[in-house]
Amino acid sequence: MSIKPQIGLVVTALLEDAYNKTAHMRPEAQRFVDRIARLLEPFAEVVAAPLVEDEAQAAAAARQFNAAGVDLIVVAQPAYTKGIVPLRALLDTTAPIVVWNTQQIRSLPENADFDLIMVNSGFAGIPELTSALTRIGRRFWTVTSWIEDPAGVQKIAEWIAAAGVVRRVRTARIGTIGAPFEGATDLMVDQLALRQELGPVCWPIEPETVAATMKDIAASDVEALSHAERARYRVEMDDPSFAQSCRLALALERVAREQNFDALASFDYIWLNMPAVGIIASYGTGRLCEIGIPTTTEGDAVQITAMLALAQLTGQATFIEPYVLDFDRNAVILSHDGHGNPAMAAAPSAVTIKPSIYYEGLNGRGAGFEFAYKPGAVTVLSLVKVGGTWRMVITEGESLAIQARPVAAPQMLFKPVQGEITEWCDAWLRAGGPHHMALAYGHQARALDKVAQLLGAEPVVV
């Protein structure tokens, strides 16, 4: 589920010292602080320090931000400030910094007085701050705009949204069930490096825990889920078979919620030969995606991180891989074996739940999804470690309207936003893009580029 980021707001102004005698402008400068806070409140929880005029106040602002655990610090100045003052607040913090070079008037009127200049002269001091940050090697980003310029506010909002994604992945708990699919080099990852460099922690769940939980699921809960799913989807399974899949789905959900997992990386073949389960988990893992617990199959903890990022931006994401090229439509079928996010289907009435054609266990084939994803703009994201750097391979395109093929799997006909499908494939392969992908609706490359910058990852747009 999406979380609301927290931002720290520090506004500095030099109003009164041995040379400047404009303390009477403090109320106006504080109104500047309050005005910025109101502009940013729709996008984040704003932790606004009172107007900062000296180092002691800057240090107090830093303590306030650290106590709140802010995800981003926005710095602004209505009036020139000696650079050492805002620098003190930033030296004592580690959150990313966006310097907003803004003012309250669009231009200086001909009858301007000194007071008006004083509370609109921040650009006199901003270069002093940014030069100092550059000299000490502290990364920062800048936005220059009039305070009420919608485009400027939108740029700030985009950085806030990116910081929210970083918070989402850096605080996420990923439950891992079973080892990654054997021999799949995409899935060979150092989970400690994932934790250190991107943020999520991977925590193992014993497969037997899920099996034992299945026994504790009430028959009435299984019946209620089965009835609800038959009311909104086409269910082409007999009652006992679908009931077993519903029981497994409810057990997966209970384990995830009881252990406070934000996502699951499940090797869902692991239960096929377990007598207490004995089916594939495709229906259950797809349902988790739908209810806000992103889930991958084949134990992919890396692309579940990508799914978390996209879900934070858009609300829903799915797990997918390339299947068959369509040279006639300049596109490629993206799919996965019965697993997908039905919340992203073209229509609930077009979703079918049917026995898997891919995997058979001791107790049958288990349920999976079959549907066509809805048409519209989409973004694909994959994470891959290249040398010592994480790379975010990003591509934008369109989901084309198609009739779902009878292959017991969710399907999308994906067309790149530009160029030939042959060129897109070559570019994806050269970028190191793996075969597993996260996908969400909307064109998100611009947002993901900012996320990559904040994470220290390399964005590669295909």
Q: Are residues 103 and 182 in the same domain?
A: no
51 DSSP assignment: P
**Boundaries of domain holding 16:** 6-170
Tell whether pTM > 0.95: no
* pLDDT score at 363: 95
Overall average pLDDT of the 382-391 stretch: 94
The more confident residue out of 111 and 321 is 321
How many domains is the chain built from? 2
Domain end, chosen from 120, 139, 170, is at 170
Which pair of tokens denotes residue 376? 């519209």
């006199």: which residue's tokens? Answer: 124
Please check whether residues 278 and 131 belong to one and the same domain.
Answer: no
Query: For 35, phi and psi rounded to 5 degrees?
Result: -65, -45
Residue 198 and residue 113 in one domain? no
For residues 189-210, give the mean pLDDT: 94
Q: Give the mean model confidence (pLDDT) for residues 23-27.
A: 85
Dist. CA 281–CA 302, nearest whole Å? 20
Same domain, 326 and 349: yes
Residues 267 and 376 in one domain: yes
Answer yes or no: do 164 and 182 share one domain.
no
**Is the pLDDT reported for residue 319 higher than 70?**
yes
pLDDT, greater one: 239 or 109: 239
Distance CA 127, CA 431 (A): 37
Express each pLDDT in 88-116 by its tens digit: 999 999 999 999 999 988 888 888 888 88
Task: Confirm whether 181 is domain-assigned.
Answer: yes
Residue 447 pLDDT exceeds 80: yes
Instruction: Enumerate residues 6+ apart whose C-beta is below 8 A from 452.
Output: 392, 458, 459
The CA distance from 383 to 433, in Å, is: 8
Alpha carbon 34 to its chain centroid, in Å, reads 29
Q: Could you report the per-residue pLDDT of 167-193, keeping only the tens digit for each?
A: 999 999 999 999 888 888 888 889 999
What value does the mean pLDDT take over residues 201-209?
A: 96
Residue 304 clears pLDDT 90, i.e. is over it: yes
137/224 same-domain check: no
Q: Where residue 434 sits, what CATH number does that domain have?
A: 3.20.14
Report the pLDDT value the prediction gives residue 1, as an integer from 0 to 100.
64
Of the candidates 272, 263, 40, which has an alpha carbon nearest to the alpha carbon of residue 164?
Answer: 40
Same domain flag for 417 and 451: yes
Tens of pLDDT, residue by residue over 43-55, are 999 999 999 999 9
Q: Which pairing describes strands 367-372 and 376-386: parallel, antiparallel, or unpaired?
A: unpaired
What average pLDDT does the chain have?
Answer: 95
